[in-house]
Structure 1
Amino acid sequence: MTNADYARGARALLRSVRATGSTADRVVLHTGGVPDAALAELAEEGARPVAVDLLPTSDAFNERHARDRLHARAPFTKGGKPPFHTPLDNFAKLRLWQLTEYRTAVFLDADMLMLRNSDRLFDYPEFCAAPNVYESMRDFHRMNSGVFTARPDEATFDRMLAALDGPGRFWRRTDQSFLQDFFPDWHGLPVTYNMLQYVWFALPDLWDWDAIHILHYQYEKPWHANHERARELAPLIALWNAFDAGAPVPNLATLPAPPGASAA
């Protein structure tokens, strides 16, 4: 997390993880932009906040990956990123490999909900991630770095830093592009372990409430009222709001199927 917006997302995520009965430690990596009050709330939800620095990348690297420069070279055309999104900060998730007090780790972005226990992922090898599928079946060759498995190790972290920054190095989708390059033989998780919210309206036949373990609110965030996709994604936003408010969470079996989904 790099700011209070993501802290709110992390709080809802932590509540959802706890509701699945997970027995795993829950660690929240954060940089200097998260208020102390927000960190205290996350600790009350059972998380261990761990402060990390941004990576020691060069000035030239930072300039290439600054929000305005990166979005000019690689604009987001499929959905809207909120104004608090700072692409350069995404690389801080590589600090996960420095949590060497743990044998294995599962990374989760803060804009997610865990709907079913996913502790089995700790037994998966490094590096596993789900495909970046939300528009067409052609997307299966690309990975999404919102969920991945890792084996913390300082030597791996050092190799990552050496590979990350160099003359002209440009990672079009920041950490996502870098991790796919660093782990070219990544193992594919089922899409149900990182179900992107746009599947709801773009590929409705992939949506199955009975199978989804982790729901990812990519692009527009559910805590931003009246965003341009709010009407299309209303059932998903209502689900997130229940966790955010600490209200009773609806039974997933009672939730509607996506509009346009084929009959079972």
Structure 2
Amino acid sequence: MSALRPEREARSSRAFVTLVTNADFARGAAALLHSLSLTGTDADRVVLHTAAVPGDARATLRERGARLVETDLLPTSAAFNAAHAKDRIHGNNPFTKGEKPPFHTPLDNFAKLRLWQLDYERVVFLDADTLVLRPIDRLFDYPEFCAAPNVYESLGDFHRMNSGVFTARPDPTTFARMLARLDAPGAYWKRTDQTFLQDFFPDWHGLPVFDNVLQYVWFTLPALWDWQAIRVLHFQYEKPWTAHAKADRLAPLIALWHAYAAGETPDLAALPAPPA
């Protein structure tokens, strides 16, 4: 049986792709899909999903225009799986700046590498906890591999990429090389796919920060926040569909997410500025 099982044929040579591995991330993907539909893109919108995603969640994604592609997790070794299990990853590298939700499963993150097996010429990957506020089809013409810096606290963050938004060119040879590098003896990827992709593409091209604005910028770097420039908003760490300790500080962003999740068309010009 093939590792990728699409429900239908591709309708374009280009696709926006996200990964969904449980019902919670399916909620995020539904809002993402609606936000993409409002940009007027004619690219396919693909949801790579595992068998762990329930049928009702898949139905919602299908109704929002997704091409569903069921995927297996990667065929990684027992040693690799043990090293990247949730308790090991979070125990060795605790998240001191924010809180990962309980449904976060680090090992699942590597399944996004399956997009290099997809039947498209060009792909833009978007994490399921992102919203696309303005058209980003221009990214299909960017080279492989482009990603925005992981900026959410200080300018010192610019040296590290964030894998929530990136450009890729599917190719089976690239995928085979990735698997060989990923699960080499003793391999350990501290921030899972993000650490791996930065290692695999050491000369990654930097996207403008506005193509992947992390939500913490709202209160850590308010001078960088510009609603008129932001194209992709990324809810790193805490998710807008769950209760969490930072909800009061992020209330306008959470309200925006809920508007997209409800199928509304938010007025971006009416959004408030971040607190000084």
**TM-score normalised by length of structure 1:** 0.96
1:142 match:
160
Q: Aligned partner of 1:242: which letter?
A: A
Residue 68 of structure 1 aligns to a residue in which SS? Answer: helix
| Aligned residue number for residue 32 of structure 1 | 51
How far is the alpha carbon of 1:40 from its aligned partner? 1.2
Task: Give secondary structure in 2 for the equivalent of 1:93.
Answer: helix
User: Which SS does the other structure have where 1:169 is aligned?
Assistant: coil
Aligned AA for 1:142? R
RMSD (CA atoms): 0.7
Cα offset, 1:248, TM superposition: 4.2
1:124 has 2:145 as partner: no
**Shift in Å, 1:247:** 3.1
**Contact 2:149 2:160 survives alignment (8 Å):** yes
**Unmatched tracts of structure 1, length 5 or more:** none
> Does structure 1 retain, via aligned residues, the 8 Å contact 2:218–2:274?
yes
Match of 2:268 among 249, 252, 256: 252
Q: Which amino acid aligns with 1:167?
A: P
Q: Kindly report structure 1 stretches of 4+ aligned residues shifted beyond 3 Å.
A: none
SS at match of 1:82: coil
Q: Corresponding residue for 2:253? A: 236
Letter of the structure 1 residue corresponding to residue 35 of structure 2: S
By how many angstroms is 1:37 displaced? 1.3
State whether residues 49 and 69 of structure 2, in contact with CA within 8 Å, keep that contact through their aligned partners in structure 1: yes
Percent identity, aligned pairs only? 72
Deviations 1:215-237 (A, max 9, x none): 00000000003x11100000000
- Give the count of matched residue pairs: 257
CA contact (8 A) 2:38 2:265 kept: no
1:75 matched to 2:91 = no
SS of the aligned residue for 1:149 comes to: strand
Q: Write the distance in 2 (CA, Å) between the matches of 1:205 and 1:93.
A: 33
Q: Give the alignment partner of residue 211 of structure 1, picking from 209, 219, 229.
A: 229
Deviations 1:89-133 (A, max 9, x none): 00000000000x211000000001100000000000000000000
DSSP-derived class of the 1:157 partner: helix
Unaligned runs of 5+ in 2: 1-19
Which letter maps to 2:250?
L
User: Going by fraction, where is strand more abundant, 1 or 2?
Assistant: 2
Show the counterpart of 1:163. Answer: 181
Q: Give the match for residue 76 of structure 2.
A: 57
SS at match of 2:167: strand
Corresponding residue of 1:103: 121
**TM-score, normalised via structure 2 length:** 0.92
1:7-64 superposed Cα distances (whole Å, 9 cap, x missing partner) = 0100000000001111110010001110111111111111000011100111011001
Partner amino acid, structure 1, of 2:29: A
Which amino acid in structure 1 is aligned with residue 46 of structure 2?
Answer: V
**Amino acid across the alignment from 1:139:** D
Alpha-carbon distance between aligned partners in 2 of 1:254 and 1:109, rounded to the nearest angstrom: 26
Q: For residues 180-207 of structure 1, what are the alpha-carbon distances to aligned partners after superposition, in whole Å with 9 as ceiling and x for unaligned? A: 0000000000010000000000011110
The amino acid that maps onto 1:71 is H
> What residue is the counterpart of 1:11 in the other structure?
30
